[in-house]
Amino acid sequence: MFDREIFKAVVGEIDDTREVEKLGCDDCFERVDGFIEAELSGLNASEAMPLVHEHLYICGECRDEFGALLEALRAVEDPSSPVPEVLDRLWRRVTPSYAR
Ligand SMILES: [Zn+2]
């Protein structure tokens, strides 16, 4: 028997747990678009999505993916727009000094 209420309760619990745990690579990859969007829309992405920021900072693999995404964005954007500066700023913020 499948009880929808129990299922929802269990899923809700998993979600709650995930909030306090560190982000995994898959979660990070799912949210990284929003992270960039936040910065582009004038928010401080690191403050809006601290878990994504933290994961990018500690995970070189995801940071590489993130860098590739930034490069792709840079390539399609109008060079006269201020977007590249925003992307550079974001990149510097998630890159530890030893990885620069
Ligand atoms: Zn990762």
What pLDDT digit, counting tens, does each position of 36-61 carry? 999 999 999 999 999 999 999 999 99
The residue-averaged pLDDT of 61-73 equals 93
Query: How many separate domains does the chain show?
Result: 1
Range of the domain at 92: 23-99
Whether 15 maps to a domain, the answer reads: no
What pLDDT digit, counting tens, does each position of 72-81 carry? 888 875 666 6
Distance 4 CA to ligand 1 centre (A): 33
Whether 70 maps to a domain, the answer reads: yes
What's the burial of 19, exposed, middle or buried (CB within 10 Å: 0-12/13-18/19+)?
exposed
The CA-atom distances, in angstroms, between 21 and each of 27, 49, 72 are 11, 14, 30
Whether 69 maps to a domain, the answer reads: yes
Dihedral angle of Cα 33, 38, 44, 46, to the nearest 10 degrees: -30
Q: Which amino acid is at 77?
A: E
Whether 74 maps to a domain, the answer reads: yes
Distance 51 CA to ligand 1 centre (A): 11
Q: Which residues surround ligand 1, an ion (CB under 5 A)?
A: 25, 59, 62
Whether 1 maps to a domain, the answer reads: no
Whether 82 maps to a domain, the answer reads: yes
Whether 76 maps to a domain, the answer reads: yes
Distance 1 CA to ligand 1 centre (A): 37
Both tokens assigned to 7: 């299922």
